[in-house]
Each structure stands twice: as C-alpha cells, then as structure tokens.
C-alpha cells in the first residue's frame, strides 16, 4: 500500500503557467523516494502540492488511501506529514527554541507535548540544545538546516518531504545532512527527497522518479536505474543545449 500517492495531477501558477502536467508519484511506506530532474521539471512544485501548499487543478492525492486533494497544510501536518522548503525558512530574529516551538504550532497550547517534543529534537541534535537561546540568524548555514530538519521532526511525522536539503551547503556539511536522512530511513521513516545532487540522491534512495517538464519521464527502483543514470543526465545536457 502506498503511504502517499499523487494520481495524474496538474498544477499551475497564476492560472496559466503550467508546471505539473499529469504527474504521478507512488510513495511506499518506509522507503526513501527520490525525485530528480533538470531545472524547471516541477520537482519542488510536486512536493508543495503533496504538502497542500498548492492545489492541483486536476488529479487526486491520497494519504493512506484517504483522498487529501485540496486539504490544508495544517490538516496534513496533523496526519503525519512534514516538509522543508528549498529556501531558508528559519525565522532569524527568533531563538532556536522559539523556532522549534513554531514547528509544534499544531499542538496549540499542549505544553507538556511541546516540551517532550523539544527534548526529543534536542537529543537528536545536541548542537541545537546548546544554542537553544541563540537567535536562529546567528547559526551557521548547516546548523540552520539542522534546525529546519529538527523543526519538521517535532511533530513526529510519518513522511518527511525534503526539498533540496543540501543546496548551498559546504560538501562536508551536506554529508552530515545526508547521514541524518539515512538515520531517518533506518528508523523506518518515509522520506521524499528532491535533490540536485543526483548521485547522492540515487545512493540514498530505494525508488526514483525522474521528472521532465512537469511530467513523469521514468521511474524505477535503484536497481532498475543502475548503469542507466548516465544516459538520463546526458539527455538533460543535450536538451539544455538545444
């Protein structure tokens, strides 16, 4: 059974700029699913649609066989979804702890639940615990990314949507972030990963979707792609130079 599934969705910006055109994705529970593709393929748009930030014009989205098309983001968080946007999304003027508490927004005034969730995150990211009273804007790029990941984990999600978690980070920090993602996978969390770093995404994932110009180009398990990845990338390069 798919944990999360999009069936033939169309998504457009400002009414007529079509980004996704009949795109489908099937996310198996407990797996890392990577979405790869050239710039403008609609990878981030697909994640936003799955997370309820964009409403599909056509098609349907299911979570545990429940139709969640058009559901609001806060409802989806309650159902067990978390998401990290591509752009930096920490609030620089708030402290680390305040940022984490914002992640627990849907818990409302349930203080014991919030403080328990905070402790869980601090245990996983001790660096955040030591900087809990520092302004988030004072953290390094890698620490801010950890804060974002931690903030997503605070609601104890079942499926984690990560949009380019290592973009703009130094390779050594990126490796650290990938190892966190690997930990999450090993703990049985379902992860959907959009990444420009195709080789790394490929190594991390169980299943891969290739998007091009908003539609499904190819998909298969890592084994299916073994050896064929080079051809796909060559295709994009040729496409870009046309």
Binding residues for other proteins (CB under 8 A)? 51, 53, 72-74, 77-78, 83-85, 87, 89-91, 93, 102-103, 105-106, 108-109, 151
- In terms of CB distance, is 83 or 207 closer to other proteins? 83
DSSP 8-state secondary structure symbol assigned to residue 15: T
- In terms of CB distance, is 62 or 91 closer to other proteins? 91
Query: What is the C-alpha to C-alpha distance for residues 215 and 209, in angstroms, rounded to an integer?
Result: 10
Phi, psi of 6 (to 5 degrees): -115, 130
Q: In the numeric block, which tokens belong to residue 164? A: 């380019």
Query: What is the C-alpha to C-alpha distance for residues 140 and 156, in angstroms, rounded to an integer?
Result: 25
- In terms of CB distance, is 3 or 90 closer to other proteins? 90
Helix %, strand %, coil % of the chain (to 5)? 40, 25, 30
- In terms of CB distance, is 149 or 232 closer to other proteins? 149
Q: Which helix (H) or strand (E) holds 218?
A: strand 215-221
- In terms of CB distance, is 137 or 188 closer to other proteins? 137
Q: How far is the CB of 139 from other proteins (least distance, A)?
A: 15
Q: How far is the CB of 75 from other proteins (least distance, A)?
A: 9
Neighbours of 13 (CB within 10 A): 10
Phi, psi of 187 (to 5 degrees): -80, 0
Q: Residue 62, exposed/middle/buried by CB under 10 A (0-12, 13-18, 19+)?
A: middle
Q: How far is the CB of 111 from other proteins (least distance, A)?
A: 13
Q: How far is the CB of 108 from other proteins (least distance, A)?
A: 8
Neighbours of 108 (CB within 10 A): 9
Contact assessment for residue 121 and residue 132, using Cβ atoms and an 8 Å cutoff = no
- In terms of CB distance, is 124 or 135 closer to other proteins? 135
Q: How far is the CB of 88 from other proteins (least distance, A)?
A: 9
């Amino acid at each position: 059974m798919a944990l999360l599934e999009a069936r033939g969705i169309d998504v457009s910006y400002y009414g007529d700029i079509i980004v996704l055109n009949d795109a489908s994705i099937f996310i198996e529970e407990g797996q890392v699913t990577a979405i790869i593709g050239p710039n403008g393929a609609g990878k981030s748009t697909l994640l936003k649609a799955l997370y309820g930030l964009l409403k599909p014009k056509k098609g349907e989205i299911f979570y545990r066989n429940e139709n969640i098309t058009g559901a609001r983001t806060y409802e989806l968080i309650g159902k067990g979804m978390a998401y990290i946007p591509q752009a930096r999304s920490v609030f620089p003027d708030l402290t680390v702890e305040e940022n984490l508490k914002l992640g627990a927004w849907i818990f409302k005034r349930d203080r014991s639940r919030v403080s328990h969730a905070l402790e869980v995150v601090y245990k996983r990211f001790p660096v955040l615990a030591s900087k809990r009273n520092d302004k988030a804007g004072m953290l390094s790029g890698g620490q801010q990314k950890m804060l974002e990941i931690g903030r997503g984990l605070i609601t104890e999600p079942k499926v984690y949507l990560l949009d380019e978690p290592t973009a703009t980070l130094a390779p050594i920090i990126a490796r650290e972030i990938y190892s966190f993602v690997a930990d999450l996978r090993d703990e049985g969390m379902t992860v959907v990963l959009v990444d420009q770093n195709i080789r790394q995404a490929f190594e991390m994932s169980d299943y891969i979707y290739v998007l091009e110009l908003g539609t499904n180009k190819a998909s298969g398990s890592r084994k299916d792609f073994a050896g064929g990845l080079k051809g796909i990338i060559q295709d994009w390069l040729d496409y870009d130079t046309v």
